[in-house]
């Protein structure tokens, strides 16, 4: 598998929030993917996948962006991005927006980075040392749409791709909140359409993470982390957020 993958062109998808606010998550993603021997490229001038408009009720306004993304990544064998929610949006709605079959467009070859490392690269060794307590943020779209872990509602065997990957990190102590995959209240436009509810959900979620005694909340969705970071800073809470790729690449 790895032999074939080494000849593949990997396109790095950097969502708008990561580009503007968390470029280090992009850098960490690049380091992580190249560290396992992959040929990674970043097609310049990416903007947004269109999810915020669509979740707010204006899916048709994302069509142009979908075409733009589809063109930008046309020449790549795989497209990998460090955001479960954005990747999921591309996967699920682009065939409809582009009026193409899934295999004809970006949807069929895009992966969330943890999913990619876990299922496609099948990493069993990561050279990372992170001597801290972390609490996994199982994001809604990561869990319930991308199937990164078993949703708490379903009676299916328990698994967690994020947990498996973090377990490869030396020195780390991994925790999960009691309400293991309860929504943090971000929800795209929901966060400003229902700011009180969104913030209340965020505060509850952070309390749950804090109860684990973790120093960091980590996950595969920058947008959830950004929302929680906003609450943490406002309330001056003793916990930090860190994207999972930054932990997996801590020694790179």
Partner 1 sequence: MSSHAKAAAQFIKNTERTAWHDQALFFVRQKRDNVAKNIDEWEVLRTKASQIKEHTVSNLEHYLTTFEKNAKANGIQVHWASDADEHNKIVAEIIENHKAKKLVKSKSMLTEECELNHFLEENGTEVVETDLGERIMQFLKLPPSHIVLPAIHVKRQEVAEIFNKEIHTDANNSDPAYLTQAARMHLREKFIEADISMTGVNFAVAEEGAFVVCTNEGNADMGTSFANVHIASMGIEKLVPNYESLGIFTRLLARSATGQPITTYTAHYKKPAKGKEIHIILVDNNRTEILKDKDHSNMLKCIRCGACMNTCPVYRRTGGYSYSYFIPGPLGINLSMLKEPKKHSGNVSACSLCYSCSNVCPAKIDLAEQIYKWRQDLDKYGEADPMKKMVVKGMKKVMGSPGLFYAAIKSGRLINHMPRFMVYNGLNDWGKGREMPVIALKTFNEMWKKGEVRSNESSKNK
Task: Tell which one of 23, 99, 159, 213 touches partner 1 (CB under 8 A).
Answer: 23
3 state SS of 136: strand
Minimum distance of partner 1 from residue 172's CB (angstroms): 19
Separation of alpha carbons 53 and 184, rounded Å? 20
Q: Which residues pair with 240 in a beta bridge?
A: 216
By CB under 8 A, residue 150 contacts partner 1: no
Stretch 207-236 residues interacting with partner 1 (CB under 8 A):
226-227, 229-231, 233-234
Task: Tell which one of 120, 189, 210, 237 touches partner 1 (CB under 8 A).
Answer: 189
Rg (CA), the chain: 17
CB under 8 Å, gap of 24 or more: what pairs does 63-67 form? 63/97, 63/98, 66/90, 66/93, 66/94, 66/97, 66/98, 67/98
What's the token pair of residue 202?
């965020």
Site string for partner 1, 60-89 (x = CB under 8 A): xxx-xx--x---------------------
Which is nearer to partner 1, 95 or 202 (by Cβ)?
202
By CB under 8 A, residue 187 contacts partner 1: yes
Task: Tell which one of 2, 57, 75, 122 touches partner 1 (CB under 8 A).
Answer: 57
By CB under 8 A, residue 17 contacts partner 1: yes
By CB under 8 A, residue 1 contacts partner 1: no
């Amino acid at each position: 598998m790895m032999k074939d993958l080494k000849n593949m062109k990997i396109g790095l998808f950097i969502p708008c929030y990561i580009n503007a606010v968390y470029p280090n998550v992009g850098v960490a993603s690049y380091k992580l993917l190249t560290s396992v021997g992959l040929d990674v490229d970043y097609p310049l001038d990416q903007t947004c996948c269109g999810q915020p408009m669509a979740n707010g009720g204006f899916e048709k306004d994302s069509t142009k962006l979908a075409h733009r993304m589809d063109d930008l990544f046309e020449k790549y064998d795989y497209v990998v991005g460090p955001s479960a929610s954005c990747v999921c949006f591309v996967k699920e709605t682009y065939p409809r927006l582009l009026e193409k079959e899934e295999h004809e467009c970006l949807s069929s070859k895009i992966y969330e980075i943890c999913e990619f490392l876990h299922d496609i690269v099948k990493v069993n060794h990561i050279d990372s040392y992170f001597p801290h307590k972390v609490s996994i943020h199982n994001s809604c779209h990561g869990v319930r749409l991308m199937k990164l872990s078993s949703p708490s509602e379903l009676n299916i065997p328990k698994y967690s791709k994020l947990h498996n990957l973090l377990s490869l990190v030396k020195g780390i102590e991994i925790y999960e909140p009691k309400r293991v995959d309860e929504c943090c209240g971000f929800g795209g436009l929901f966060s400003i359409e229902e700011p009180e509810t969104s913030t209340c959900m965020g505060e509850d979620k952070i309390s749950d993470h804090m109860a684990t005694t973790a120093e960091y909340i980590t996950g595969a969705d920058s947008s959830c982390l950004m929302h929680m970071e906003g609450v943490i800073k406002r309330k001056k809470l003793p916990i930090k957020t860190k994207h999972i790729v930054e932990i997996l690449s801590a020694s790179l």
